[in-house]
Chains A and B, each alone.
Chain A
């Protein structure tokens, strides 16, 4: 495909210079997949240096009839940043700076390619940090985080990206650059763009809210006999009106993999482990830990301890956030699901996940943002074993259906992308989807931004194709 379009490449190189355009198949292939889905080879990958270059790319793409897919670090899990049918992929690898820091007003202006954790590092000296912390935060970018309304463990206390993006600069389908802000009058276009998975506009800068670092932070680990007991404890903690800053649960499968990899000190004999973080005034933190520990014990906690040092605290978090990667020790392949249920339904949802895994003869590892009711079951398998891939696809779909039945939904923080678009009609009616399409058309009637994402393939004109239980053809398992 690359060699077939010299006109396109010449125009892109004319606008961005040779260092800003990748066209060789070897280079392009690196952008054809994310952490889960393998898509098509794009016609070109561009690495713009600023919004003007993004605008030029959008105009060239429009002239040449190419779709545009924007991409951060490619850590997504549902194909959102992968070209579904060729087109131009915009990488923000070169737009990765902190543009301005306003400590007094606790705001920062950043380029979309700035890595999530890097922002917190850059503002730490001012006693500030950035709230959302997806497990991919060491590599994932703020632009990508905004596109998927990412959350992470601390979304429990601080909310997902939409509560932290105060304004955006974006390039629209005509190639024009606009600024939108919560401070402006008019419709909340910032809110519309966050979580829209690159289908409404290309984000070229973000104005984000920063938080003041708490005076004291404590990370505690409790062991439980099984995941259900841990989930019951989490439900009770939430119901009691306590607000820890994070409540995470890992089951035995995950804990063992994580310990083998990181040796952070999680109890190996536990059926499940609760990782709770408490932050605030030093005195409050001590009180809250006592209350939390008491509730945990009432719900069957076998042990409770808190990290003795900041180093141990960081080690516990690093292993939690590295959980998925550690699973390579157990099975050659895994499929991570993302679904949310009302928090009180967590124990039932976990029971259902385990039943479904048993039904399909699969090993499942559960690691999840328990405080938010956000499940991440990891189905472990070997794709070389016959029938396992199909079983995983069916089990994954059954888990989503079970979560919907419990009043939940099919994505808490990863997005719909291409992976779940055919499942969307299980959650929303034709009228709901048609109304969402009105929003899309107001921004981009040509639907050239990230086509084949979010909306089910048959959704045009209100026709919604029946949901299918399928993993995308190119799933990267």
Chain B
């Protein structure tokens, strides 16, 4: 069996300070299991790669001998549009998946940043959480089956191609969000949704003193938006930063609902003192995609981005605490407050890489004090050692360790990458 083995581009797969000695690029499941078995036998630590877009997640691996690039597993295996299901290999890009579904008026709300690079397998393994999840559900809720390759070369499937299933354990749930530490997702089966007939982005600049009222009025809408983001900074989304920030609301549904929602939204914002709401119809998709990209976009090597999840009750408060922590470290901060999910995304930056590196430690101490559960979404690989992948430890860590022990007893897959050093 020909195993692709390119020494030349190892640097492109560096994580933290570590550069792998080998890069493998399997073309199919059989080659992948063979590579995994060899790594497992040889005691080589292997890290799985997709489109590199979310590799800042988790800790830097403790050992890293081989990179396994899964982008060669790029086939759509089965697409039955009338059934609203699709099965595809892990290396298929999210853009390719989106295009295949769009042709039949369907979608899966993965909300992955950089969809032309991001792979379906990587998006699942990272446990990516998009802003539309309050409306449509999480990625995990759309996965109806999966095949995974374990470190010892075992190929195991679970679930199936049906939308309702309680036949055996739902192993896909374990792989989703595991950062590739339990098994390599080889293929995944999804249920899909029909695309809404209409989609609109409403943008509104928020004059001073209107933020709290605007947020409160939005919470009282009878027709709920698919996403509602209060943005400060992140000029790349729409080219209009605005000191007090602005509101980006995504409306999806029938034409009638979107029009009614627009009217209701305008009135809610008007009564909060927001004078103008700009509507984007044709550019709605592109603007929303810009927002998703912004979640993981860095300002050179002098920035990093965090996500703090939590209750809708304290979104503004968490954003303010993070802003205080940034100010105390003399960092710039840009924030996205998600008014549907409770997420706060914060990008901090310094004028220079040197200043950023110098002050990152003290900022981290402050951030942990005010926002302990926040996790890294994006960071320069060279600064990984300064950032904690997980600042909280789940109570059931012992069970998680036992799982790792059962699925990957030799710690071949990304050792140390996961919570608690798993």
Chain A positions near chain B (C-beta within 8 angstroms): 102, 104-105, 148-149, 151, 155, 159-160, 162-163, 172, 178-180, 182-192, 194-197, 212, 215, 235, 238-239, 241-243, 280-281, 283-284, 287, 340-344, 369, 372-374, 407-416, 424, 427-429, 431-436, 438-443, 454
Q: Per-residue CB proximity of B401-422 to A under 8 Å, as 1/0?
A: 0110111000000000011100
Measured between alpha carbons, how far is A436 from B395 in the docked complex, in Å? 23
Q: Which one of A104, A241, A280 has the greatest number of beta carbons of chain B within 10 Å?
A: A241
Contact B224 A340 (CB under 8 A): no
Measured between alpha carbons, how far is A439 from B175 in the docked complex, in Å? 12
Contact B137 A163 (CB under 8 A): yes
Distance in angstroms from B390 CB to nearest chain A CB is: 5
Contact B141 A416 (CB under 8 A): no
Residues 190-206 of B contacting A (Cβ, < 8 Å):
193-195
Contact A409 B396 (CB under 8 A): no
Contact A427 B167 (CB under 8 A): yes
Q: Is B375 an interface residue (CB 8 A)?
A: yes
Segment from B237-245, B251-259, B379-387 that makes contact with A:
B251-259
Chain B positions near chain A (C-beta within 8 angstroms): 80-85, 105-106, 127, 137-138, 140-141, 148, 150, 154-158, 160-171, 173-174, 176-178, 182, 193-195, 219, 222-224, 253-254, 256-257, 260, 309-313, 342, 373, 375, 390, 392, 394-397, 399-400, 402-403, 405-407, 418-420
Contact A343 B83 (CB under 8 A): yes
Measured between alpha carbons, how far is A341 from B167 in the docked complex, in Å? 13
23 contacts across the A-B interface (CB closer than 8 A): A104-B313, A149-B165, A159-B141, A163-B141, A183-B310, A183-B373, A186-B400, A186-B419, A188-B140, A195-B170, A239-B83, A284-B253, A287-B256, A343-B82, A373-B164, A408-B162, A411-B165, A412-B164, A429-B157, A431-B154, A431-B156, A436-B171, A439-B169
Distance in angstroms from A126 CB to nearest chain B CB is: 14
Contact A159 B137 (CB under 8 A): yes
Contact A435 B156 (CB under 8 A): yes
Determine which of B80, B223, B390 lies in contact with A185 in the assembled complex, contact meaning CB atoms within 8 Å: B390
Distance in angstroms from A159 CB to nearest chain B CB is: 6
Closest to B165 in A: A409
Contact B173 A343 (CB under 8 A): no
Contact A283 B256 (CB under 8 A): yes
Determine which of B83, B140, B155, B166 lies in contact with A148 in the assembled complex, contact meaning CB atoms within 8 Å: B166
Closest to A243 in B: B194
Distance in angstroms from B413 CB to nearest chain A CB is: 13
A415 CB contacts on chain B under 8 angstroms: 166
Distance in angstroms from A269 CB to nearest chain B CB is: 30
B182 CB contacts on chain A under 8 angstroms: 187
Measured between alpha carbons, how far is A439 from B160 in the docked complex, in Å? 18
A185 CB contacts on chain B under 8 angstroms: 373, 375, 390, 392, 394, 419
Contact B169 A238 (CB under 8 A): no
Q: Given A341-B162, A436-B169, are A191 and B256 also a contact pair (CB < 8 Å)?
A: no
Contact B157 A428 (CB under 8 A): yes
Contact B164 A281 (CB under 8 A): no
B84 CB contacts on chain A under 8 angstroms: 238-239, 343
Contact B140 A191 (CB under 8 A): yes
Q: Which 8 residue pairs spanning A and B have beta carbons closest together?
A: A191-B173, A241-B194, A435-B156, A239-B82, A438-B406, A412-B164, A340-B162, A442-B402
Contact B403 A187 (CB under 8 A): yes
Distance in angstroms from B399 CB to nearest chain A CB is: 6
Contact B164 A372 (CB under 8 A): yes
Distance in angstroms from B170 CB to nearest chain A CB is: 5
Measured between alpha carbons, how far is A189 from B155 in the docked complex, in Å? 22
Measured between alpha carbons, how far is A369 from B162 in the docked complex, in Å? 13
Distance in angstroms from B104 CB to nearest chain A CB is: 8
Given contact pairs A342-B162, A408-B160, A435-B150, a sample of 17 additional A-B residue pairs in the complex whose CB atoms are under 8 Å apart = A105-B311, A155-B164, A186-B397, A189-B399, A191-B140, A212-B224, A215-B222, A241-B194, A344-B83, A409-B167, A415-B166, A427-B160, A432-B157, A435-B156, A436-B171, A441-B402, A442-B406
Contact A435 B193 (CB under 8 A): no
Q: Given A281-B260, A431-B154, are A178 and B166 also a contact pair (CB < 8 Å)?
A: no
Determine which of A189, A343, A429, A439 lies in contact with B396 in the assembled complex, contact meaning CB atoms within 8 Å: A189
B176 CB contacts on chain A under 8 angstroms: 188, 191
B373 CB contacts on chain A under 8 angstroms: 183, 185
Contact A281 B83 (CB under 8 A): no
B83 CB contacts on chain A under 8 angstroms: 238-239, 342-344
Distance in angstroms from A409 CB to nearest chain B CB is: 5
Measured between alpha carbons, how far is A410 from B160 in the docked complex, in Å? 11
Measured between alpha carbons, how far is A409 from B164 in the docked complex, in Å? 9
Measured between alpha carbons, how far is A240 from B150 in the docked complex, in Å? 39
Contact A238 B171 (CB under 8 A): no
Determine which of B163, B173, B394 lies in contact with A186 in the assembled complex, contact meaning CB atoms within 8 Å: B394
A280 CB contacts on chain B under 8 angstroms: 257
Contact A439 B309 (CB under 8 A): no
Distance in angstroms from A414 CB to nearest chain B CB is: 7
Closest to A177 in B: B395
Contact A439 B171 (CB under 8 A): yes
Contact A191 B170 (CB under 8 A): yes
Measured between alpha carbons, how far is A431 from B158 in the docked complex, in Å? 11
Distance in angstroms from A120 CB to nearest chain B CB is: 19
Measured between alpha carbons, how far is A285 from B304 in the docked complex, in Å? 46
Contact B170 A149 (CB under 8 A): yes
Distance in angstroms from A13 CB to nearest chain B CB is: 30
A163 CB contacts on chain B under 8 angstroms: 137-138, 141
Determine which of B158, B194, B260, B396 lies in contact with A178 in the assembled complex, contact meaning CB atoms within 8 Å: B396
Contact A343 B163 (CB under 8 A): yes
Q: Given A105-B312, A442-B402, A443-B399, are A188 and B164 also a contact pair (CB < 8 Å)?
A: no
B396 CB contacts on chain A under 8 angstroms: 178-180, 186, 189
Determine which of B156, B165, B375 lies in contact with A432 in the assembled complex, contact meaning CB atoms within 8 Å: B156
A235 CB contacts on chain B under 8 angstroms: 82
Measured between alpha carbons, how far is A443 from B407 in the docked complex, in Å? 12
Distance in angstroms from B137 CB to nearest chain A CB is: 6
Measured between alpha carbons, how far is A241 from B193 in the docked complex, in Å? 8
Measured between alpha carbons, how far is A427 from B127 in the docked complex, in Å? 28
Distance in angstroms from A108 CB to nearest chain B CB is: 14
Measured between alpha carbons, how far is A393 from B105 in the docked complex, in Å? 43
Measured between alpha carbons, how far is A272 from B310 in the docked complex, in Å? 48
Q: Given A185-B419, A187-B400, are A342 and B161 also a contact pair (CB < 8 Å)?
A: yes
Contact B167 A373 (CB under 8 A): no
Measured between alpha carbons, how far is A329 from B406 in the docked complex, in Å? 52
B160 CB contacts on chain A under 8 angstroms: 340, 407-409, 427
Contact B158 A432 (CB under 8 A): yes
Measured between alpha carbons, how far is A189 from B182 in the docked complex, in Å? 13
Contact A162 B170 (CB under 8 A): yes
Contact A238 B254 (CB under 8 A): no
Distance in angstroms from A161 CB to nearest chain B CB is: 9
Measured between alpha carbons, how far is A300 from B176 in the docked complex, in Å? 43
Determine which of B106, B137, B223, B403 lies in contact with A439 in the assembled complex, contact meaning CB atoms within 8 Å: B403
Contact A188 B166 (CB under 8 A): no
Contact B395 A178 (CB under 8 A): yes
Closest to A172 in B: B399
Contact B309 A434 (CB under 8 A): no
Measured between alpha carbons, how far is A411 from B168 in the docked complex, in Å? 9
B311 CB contacts on chain A under 8 angstroms: 102, 104-105
Measured between alpha carbons, how far is A241 from B161 in the docked complex, in Å? 18
Contact B163 A187 (CB under 8 A): no
Distance in angstroms from B306 CB to nearest chain A CB is: 13
Q: Which one of A104, A188, A212 has the greatest number of beta carbons of chain B within 10 Å?
A: A188
Contact B165 A435 (CB under 8 A): no
Q: Which one of B106, B154, B224, B342 has the greatest number of beta carbons of chain A within 10 Å?
A: B154
